[in-house]
């Protein structure tokens, strides 16, 4: 009898330890997010409630059960994620700690859809928590979408607690971190920005045309500093500054001409293609590095596509980030391209015909 008691106690301890060490996976979608808990020996509504910092009065009806019926070992319960025990705004009480709650990235899924399905948590916050950008996500990755708030004195899950990242992603040496470069340029002094970009950006060795009035450069590799730095007024010839400009329209964006863009060398055509209407989305990428991006349905994330403007014969090469946003503005569109890509194509309208090859 004594041995049986010891074995039973050991089993309870092992089950308790496993429950505390398993990463919490979110289920459901907005606004009914929940976790799944498997009942072990000696557990009841009150002990499970303490584990997840939730009252049995909220647990029981969520599972469409009654407290009079005892729980069974192996029974699975849904644990609702509500403001009282779930944080997506980085707030908690002094006696609580944060335990990360994860979502596994699915095929053809990107930050916008993940945000919409998890209470519309801001994309910027998802990037901060996971130390990545939208370009870095891949199927199978575990992304933090919020934090369970538990009390260490009551919950064994507190052993999985972690601090929250409140700053953005750091600079990476990956081709997928174009947005990271932009943030570094904005937040750091100008004299340091070229040093950061030099470690990760390669430029074409072909001759690239400059804006009107400037001479063409000979065939050679551009220096990073001359490629990325916008042309400022003080760097222009003196005779140009003396000319009256008050009656000329001012274009706040730099001239974009990267001979198709950064991803041109990675393009490999398979003979497939389509044609239709394209729209534009705003992006900080492309203006200074030639990295163009696109949103298109039924195309694997990471595919390089060739987008052509049939009216003038110009083409750009863009990397697919994900599907078109599920909104009425996407109706009738074949794809959306970043605004820098549209500028190189010579397109100014919000909707225009294009042909696509991939």
* pLDDT by 10s per residue, the chain, length 358: 445 554 444 444 444 444 444 789 999 999 999 999 999 998 999 999 999 999 999 999 999 999 888 899 999 999 999 999 999 999 999 999 999 999 999 998 889 999 999 999 999 999 999 999 888 889 999 999 999 999 999 999 999 988 887 765 543 433 333 333 333 333 333 343 333 333 333 434 333 344 334 334 434 433 333 343 443 444 545 444 444 444 444 344 455 677 889 999 889 878 889 999 999 988 888 888 899 999 999 889 989 999 999 988 899 999 999 898 888 888 889 999 998 899 999 887 778 899 999 9
Q: Where are the beta strands (DSSP E) in the chain?
A: 24-25, 27-29, 32-38, 76-80, 86-87, 97-104, 142-150, 273-281, 292-296, 304-308, 315-322, 333-338, 352-357
Provide the number of structural domains found in the chain: 3
Indicate if 334 and 191 belong to the same structural domain.
Answer: no
Task: Give residues with Cβ within 8 angstroms of 153, minimum separation 6.
Answer: 95
* Domain annotation covers residue 214: yes
In the numeric block, the tokens 């006696």 are attached to: 95
Burial 88-110 (b: 16+ CB within 10 A, else e): beeebeeebbbbbbbbebeeebb
Indicate if 101 and 66 belong to the same structural domain.
Answer: yes
CA 336 to centroid of chain Cα atoms: 17
* Domain annotation covers residue 165: no
Q: Is the dihedral of CA 139, 142, 146, 148 positive or negative?
A: positive
Indicate if 19 and 136 belong to the same structural domain.
Answer: yes
| Closest C-alpha to 93, from 147, 49, 17 | 147
Indicate if 149 and 23 belong to the same structural domain.
Answer: yes
Indicate if 145 and 289 belong to the same structural domain.
Answer: no
* Domain annotation covers residue 237: yes
**Among 143, 160, 177, which residue terminates a domain?**
160
Hey, how many other C-beta atoms are within 10 angstroms of the C-beta on 200?
17
State residue 289's pLDDT score: 87
| Closest C-alpha to 335, from 312, 358, 314 | 358
Residue 194, judged by CB atoms within 10 A of its CB (0-12, 13-18, 19+), counts as middle
Indicate if 227 and 121 belong to the same structural domain.
Answer: no
Indicate if 232 and 329 belong to the same structural domain.
Answer: no
The residues pairing with 273 across neighbouring beta strands, listed in sequence order, are 357
In which domain, by residue range, is 289 found? 262-357
State residue 169's pLDDT score: 57
Indicate if 6 and 155 belong to the same structural domain.
Answer: yes
Indicate if 151 and 8 belong to the same structural domain.
Answer: yes
* Domain annotation covers residue 257: no
Indicate if 150 and 200 belong to the same structural domain.
Answer: no
* Domain annotation covers residue 250: no
Indicate if 154 and 194 belong to the same structural domain.
Answer: no
* Domain annotation covers residue 53: yes
* Domain annotation covers residue 247: no
Element (H, E) at 10: helix 2-21
**pTM for this predicted structure:** 0.47
State residue 87's pLDDT score: 96
State residue 270's pLDDT score: 81
Indicate if 290 and 218 belong to the same structural domain.
Answer: no
State residue 347's pLDDT score: 80
- Distance between CA atoms of 202 and 259, rounded to whole angstroms? 14
């Amino acid at each position: 009898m004594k041995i049986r008691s010891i074995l039973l106690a050991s089993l309870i301890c092992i089950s308790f330890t496993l429950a505390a060490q398993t990463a919490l996976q979110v289920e459901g979608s907005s606004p009914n997010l929940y976790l799944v808990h498997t009942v072990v020996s000696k557990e009841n509504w009150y002990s499970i409630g303490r584990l997840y910092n939730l009252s049995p009065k909220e647990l029981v009806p969520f599972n469409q059960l009654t407290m009079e019926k005892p729980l069974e070992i192996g029974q699975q319960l849904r644990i609702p994620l509500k403001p009282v025990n779930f944080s997506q705004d980085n707030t908690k009480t002094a006696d609580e700690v944060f335990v990360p709650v994860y979502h596994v990235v699915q095929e053809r899924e990107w930050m916008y859809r993940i945000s919409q399905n998890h209470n519309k948590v801001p994309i910027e916050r998802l990037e901060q928590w996971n130390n990545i950008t939208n370009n870095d996500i891949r199927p199978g990755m575990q992304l933090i979408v919020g934090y369970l708030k538990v009390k260490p004195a009551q919950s064994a899950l507190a052993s999985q607690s972690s601090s929250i990242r409140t700053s953005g992603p750091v600079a990476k040496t990956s081709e997928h971190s174009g947005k990271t470069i932009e943030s570094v340029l904005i937040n750091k002094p100008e004299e340091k920005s070229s040093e950061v970009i030099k470690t990760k950006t390669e430029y074409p060795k072909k001759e690239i045309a400059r804006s009107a009035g400037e001479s063409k450069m000979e065939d050679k590799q551009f220096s990073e500093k001359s490629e990325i730095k916008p042309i400022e007024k003080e760097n222009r010839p003196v005779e140009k500054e003396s000319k009256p400009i008050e009656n000329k329209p001012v274009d706040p964006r730099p001239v974009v001409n990267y001979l198709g863009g950064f991803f041109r060398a990675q393009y490999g055509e398979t003979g497939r293609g389509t044609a239709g209407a394209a729209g534009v989305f705003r992006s900080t990428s492309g203006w200074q590095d030639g990295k163009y991006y696109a949103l298109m349905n039924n195309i694997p994330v990471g595919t390089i596509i060739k987008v052509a403007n049939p009216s003038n014969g110009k083409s750009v090469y863009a990397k697919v980030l994900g599907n078109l946003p599920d909104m009425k503005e996407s109706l009738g569109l074949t794809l959306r391209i970043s605004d820098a890509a549209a500028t190189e194509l010579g397109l100014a309208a919000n909707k225009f015909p294009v042909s696509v090859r991939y």
